[in-house]
Chains A and B, each alone.
Chain A
């Protein structure tokens, strides 16, 4: 572990972690916006248009590279930090820690890990199809993958929808801790703003996953 990368100071790594996390949170809003198009009863017209735009626009493509790099980096840093953290206490306590800490704040690596597993699943179901790595018979007349129908088919499977919903709840916990933690890491902590930041983080962590969760509900129960 002697390469320059590993010798980044703990704070540098964390600052990157925070920046990338916030960046991913912005992306999540965009993604949610597109997904919500699924709720329109238009046979997927809006959704496909949005998917088409995202898939073909060059500026978006540049962002896409940044997004993936950022994402991989975020995961990679998270793992390195965690391994170092485990190494910092070779002998564990017999009585596990009873200190009063924010809910699930100690389990970011686990909530993060669950989100990662979901993402791999998600990639197999959607993104890899676009890349042509995974074959899916649903095609639009233009010869592009028909994500509207792919999504619809998946969401009507109750098991898939339940896993999808649970995972977004986990993501919500991850985001709830992550948002305020990111600002703390970036040095933004001031009695006047901190409560505000924390509240906004919680608001975001509820509203955004909720937005995603509405969709399987819609397909399962209403359609």
Chain B
């Protein structure tokens, strides 16, 4: 199939960027979206132009590195996949595809389509863990976890930290990301000891970093490649309220 690509090009964090249009011919529908970009880059290199820079690594939808805003949707038109698992068969011959980087104040563009998501690391560093030192753990089966809670915790823990929730949200809110981590530990007995501190610290950091507020439009949930539920946001609100009030 033949395509027209409109891609955001930006030399570095300080430079101004602009959209550049590239025609691309003879793309197989079985090609993945990132392989399509590889083909474009190969052609650019042949012309001694700088290839389009974008984040990617595992290309199997689990590392969370790919971060493309494709035709108005994070990770593109397919549901429950990351951009690396999006295939060109989801597009038609002659389509124009606009590719933008994630846009949010806490995610500044580094180059082209690559953004800096270290804000997520900073939030996790505030308390996205259980404080246990190596070696001091008790026998694993001493901690019993009901199946239902363990499944819900796993649902929340499936987050890959890609930032699609922030990219999709009209407010660039990170509530789904933060709540997934808060929920995972709120649902497990191991997480109870630090629960109050955890939610307060993580939310404070989220606010400080300049993410927007949640206005319950649930775009995050709709775009999450791992189908993280908005019920996690409710759980975090509850945890937060309890931590503040009680």
Q: How many A-B residue pairs have CB under 8 A?
A: 137
Contact in complex: B217, A105 (CB < 8 Å): yes
Contact in complex: B217, A81 (CB < 8 Å): no
Distance in angstroms from B227 CB to nearest chain A CB is 14
Contact in complex: A99, B219 (CB < 8 Å): yes
Using a CB-CB cutoff of 8 Å, which residues 152-191 of chain B contact chain A? 168, 170-173
Contact in complex: A85, B171 (CB < 8 Å): yes
Distance in angstroms from A97 CB to nearest chain B CB is 6
Is B72 at the interface (CB under 8 A from chain A)?
A: yes
Give the docked Cα–Cα distance between A184 and B212 (Å).
Answer: 17
Contact in complex: B237, A15 (CB < 8 Å): yes
Contact indicator per residue, chain A 93-106, by CB within 8 Å of chain B (1) or not (0): 11111111110011
Is B98 at the interface (CB under 8 A from chain A)?
A: yes
Residues on the A chain within 8 Å of B120, using CB: none
Is A188 at the interface (CB under 8 A from chain B)?
A: yes
Distance in angstroms from B219 CB to nearest chain A CB is 4
Contact in complex: A186, B241 (CB < 8 Å): yes
Contact in complex: B237, A11 (CB < 8 Å): yes
Q: Which of A89, A98, A108, A191 contacts B215 (CB 8 A)?
A: A108
Contact indicator per residue, chain A 64-91, by CB within 8 Å of chain B (1) or not (0): 0000000000000000010011011111
Contact indicator per residue, chain A 164-203, by CB within 8 Å of chain B (1) or not (0): 0000000000000100110011111111001000000000
Is A152 at the interface (CB under 8 A from chain B)?
A: no
Give the docked Cα–Cα distance between A101 and B170 (Å).
Answer: 11
Given contacts A89-B171, A105-B215, A191-B231, 13 further A-B contacts (CB under 8 A): A9-B203, A14-B237, A88-B106, A88-B212, A89-B105, A94-B98, A97-B73, A99-B223, A101-B218, A101-B222, A177-B216, A185-B234, A189-B231
Can you report 12 A-B residue pairs in the complex whose CB atoms are below 8 A from each other? A9-B204, A10-B207, A85-B170, A85-B215, A87-B210, A87-B212, A93-B103, A105-B215, A184-B216, A184-B234, A184-B237, A187-B235
Interface residues in A, total, Cβ within 8 A: 41
Closest to B100 in A: A93
Distance in angstroms from B19 CB to nearest chain A CB is 7
Is B28 at the interface (CB under 8 A from chain A)?
A: no
Contact in complex: A88, B237 (CB < 8 Å): no
Using a CB-CB cutoff of 8 Å, which residues 1-55 of chain A contact chain B? 9-15
Is B213 at the interface (CB under 8 A from chain A)?
A: yes
Is B33 at the interface (CB under 8 A from chain A)?
A: no
Contact in complex: A184, B233 (CB < 8 Å): yes
Residues on the A chain within 8 Å of B168, using CB: 97, 99
Residues on the A chain within 8 Å of B65, using CB: none
Distance in angstroms from B32 CB to nearest chain A CB is 21
Contact indicator per residue, chain A 101-143, by CB within 8 Å of chain B (1) or not (0): 1100110100000000000000000000000000000000000
Interface residues of B, Cβ cutoff 8 Å to A: 6, 8, 19, 69, 71-74, 98, 100, 103-106, 168, 170-173, 203-204, 206-207, 210-219, 222-223, 230-231, 233-241, 244
Residues on the B chain within 8 Å of A91, using CB: 103
Give the docked Cα–Cα distance between A187 and B211 (Å).
Answer: 20
Residues on the B chain within 8 Å of A105, using CB: 215-218
Shortest 10 CB-CB distances between A and B: which pairs? A187-B238, A189-B234, A88-B212, A98-B72, A85-B171, A181-B216, A88-B172, A95-B72, A85-B212, A187-B237
Q: A9-B203, A85-B170, A186-B237 are in contact. Are A90 and B105 (CB under 8 A)?
A: yes
Is A92 at the interface (CB under 8 A from chain B)?
A: yes
User: Among B72, B170, B222, B241, which residue has the most Cβ atoms of chain A within 10 A?
Assistant: B170
Residues on the B chain within 8 Å of A106, using CB: 170, 215, 217, 219
Closest to A188 in B: B234
Residues on the A chain within 8 Å of B210, using CB: 87-88
Distance in angstroms from A195 CB to nearest chain B CB is 12
Residues on the A chain within 8 Å of B236, using CB: 11, 187
Give the docked Cα–Cα distance between A81 and B216 (Å).
Answer: 13
Residues on the B chain within 8 Å of A14, using CB: 213-214, 237
Contact in complex: B104, A89 (CB < 8 Å): yes
Give the docked Cα–Cα distance between A91 and B107 (Å).
Answer: 11
Distance in angstroms from A160 CB to nearest chain B CB is 32
Contact in complex: A10, B214 (CB < 8 Å): yes
Closest to B223 in A: A99
Residues on the B chain within 8 Å of A191, using CB: 231
Give the docked Cα–Cα distance between A58 and B231 (Å).
Answer: 42
